[in-house]
Amino acid sequence: MSSPLQSTPVVLVTGGTGLVGYALRHVIETELVGSRYGRREGEQWVFVSSKEADLRDPEQTRRLFEKYKPTHVIHLAALVGGLYKNMKYKLSFLRDNTLINDNVLHFAHATGVSKVISCLSTCVFPDKVSYPLDETKIHLGLPHESNFGYAHAKRMVDVANHAYKDQFGSNFTAAIPTNIFGPNDNFDLEDSHVIPALIHKCFLAKRNNTPFAVSGSGKPLRQFIYSYDLAKLLIWQLREYDDVEPVILSVGEDEELSIKQVADAVVNAIGFEGEYTFDTSRADGQFRKPASNKKLLSQLHDDFAFTPFDSALHDTVRWFVDNYDHARTGNVKGKEQLRDAPIATHTKVVAMNGSH
Ligand SMILES: NC(=O)c1ccc[n+]([C@@H]2O[C@H](COP(=O)([O-])OP(=O)(O)OC[C@H]3O[C@@H](n4cnc5c(N)ncnc54)[C@H](OP(=O)(O)O)[C@@H]3O)[C@@H](O)[C@H]2O)c1
């Protein structure tokens, strides 16, 4: 996996302190060295946050690449948020993510990085398109208006990957995960995705003995992937998948869950027994957007055991309860938030080599 210029592979993970970065680090630290998802002998993994370099800024991005000299990049850094944040800050989602992606791909190319996996999202797909979604349908129509800023910025990564390949032969590609959840998610009540928001709300409802109000009708359907499963699939893609066309990383389309089913599971995992309602005055977003994982399964050449939803949700709830004082929960606690969860507090950047 090393580039011709460097014998030691260095995998730079942008967005290394977020939900997916945390999961990648967990997997690379806990899987057997040399196994399919484990660290390879001599390989270094570097996880960086915006504190190390604001990737919207070309000069900071250039210095980051100069400092670590990565041979491979898993590019996760993005302005990320749930439905309501996306609806409120469309220009920020478009502009920040466009700048971040352009800088990362440009300096990856300029410094001779041999492979980049960037993270898209099923939000990139057109609003009006035949289901199930698959990798060939990204550009077939306009995205849903609720997240068009984020969606357009992310789509352009796929366009850029093709342009880098056509002009320079670059090995840049993308992953398209469905909704992700797991430890170290952003549990902000307003700005986060549905699962962390529900977990936090239900936790507070239980603690304060107040009703648990779920935003929206509870009817929309979504596919959810556990962040630790996604991390393994990203590692697979980095090592074993060499094609510019992106791959949807997801559970099967027959595993859609309604928001009500998710809320029921959260109630169960938290052990909440109070009043539980749906606030239908809040937007629902797209009703459903089932995505096919056929390409993924055909390329893996092996069975992949996705963690059962209830078990992954229980682990996520347990992590949130155990880490409430460190978790990203917005301003609800009325104090400055620690952006990094415990695993990341001792140092922002971890170079993992044989001695670590
Ligand atoms: N969460 C989902 O459900 C979901 C679904 C589909 C796709 N995705 C994609 O998956 C990737 C990872 O998402 P996530 O959920 O792990 O996000 P997250 O928890 O919000 O973490 C975002 C990461 O990006 C970094 N970042 C943000 N702005 C930056 C900037 N200007 N410069 C440098 N770094 C910056 C953050 O650094 P700080 O810690 O310093 O803020 C953090 O490490 C993203 O590309 C996202 O679009 C997410």
For 316-347, how does the pLDDT look when each residue is reduced to its tens digit (9 = 90+)? 999 999 999 999 998 655 433 333 333 332 22
**Alpha-carbon 93 to chain mean position:** 15
Question: How is residue 213 written in tokens?
Answer: 């109000």
**Alpha-carbon distance 289 to 83, whole Å?**
14
Ligand 1 center from residue 343 Cα (angstroms):
17
Atom of ligand 1 lying closest to residue 186 CA: 19
Ligand 1 center from residue 236 Cα (angstroms):
20
Segment 23-40 mean pLDDT: 96
pLDDT higher than threshold 90 for residue 110: yes
Atom of ligand 1 lying closest to residue 81 CA: 20
In 10 A of CB 262, how many CB atoms?
24
C-alpha distance across the termini of the chain, in Å: 20
Segment 271-278 mean pLDDT: 95
- pTM for the model stands at 0.92
Segment 119-136 mean pLDDT: 96
Ligand 1 site residues (CB inside 6 A) read: 15-21, 49-51, 54-56, 76-80, 100, 119, 121, 177, 179-180, 186, 193, 339
Ligand 1 center from residue 78 Cα (angstroms):
4
Higher confidence at residue 66 or residue 282? 66
Measure the CA angle with vertex 217, ends 213 and 222; round to 5°: 105
Ligand 1 center from residue 15 Cα (angstroms):
5
The structure tokens 């055991």 sit at: 305
Ligand 1 center from residue 171 Cα (angstroms):
22
Strands 224-226 and 179-181: what pairing? parallel
Atom of ligand 1 lying closest to residue 328 CA: 19
**Alpha-carbon distance 232 to 326, whole Å?**
25
Establish whether the linkage from the previous residue to 177 is cis, with ω within 30° of 0: no
For 181-229, how does the pLDDT look when each residue is reduced to its tens digit (9 = 90+)? 999 999 998 788 999 999 999 999 999 999 999 999 999 999 999 999 9
Q: Which residue lies with its CA nearest to atom 26 of ligand 1?
A: 77
Segment 134-154 mean pLDDT: 96
Active site residue 150: yes
At 331 the pLDDT is 60
The residue extents of the domains of the chain are: 10-184+223-256+290-307+338-345
Segment 272-289 mean pLDDT: 90
Question: How is residue 209 written in tokens?
Answer: 């003995």
Closest to 108 in 3D by CA, of 147, 64, 52: 64
Q: Which residue lies with its CA nearest to atom 41 of ligand 1?
A: 50
Catalytic residue among 150, 164, 226, 241: 150
AA identity, residue 277: T
In 10 A of CB 148, how many CB atoms?
18
What dotted CATH number matches 10-184+223-256+290-307+338-345? Answer: 3.40.50.720
pLDDT higher than threshold 80 for residue 348: no
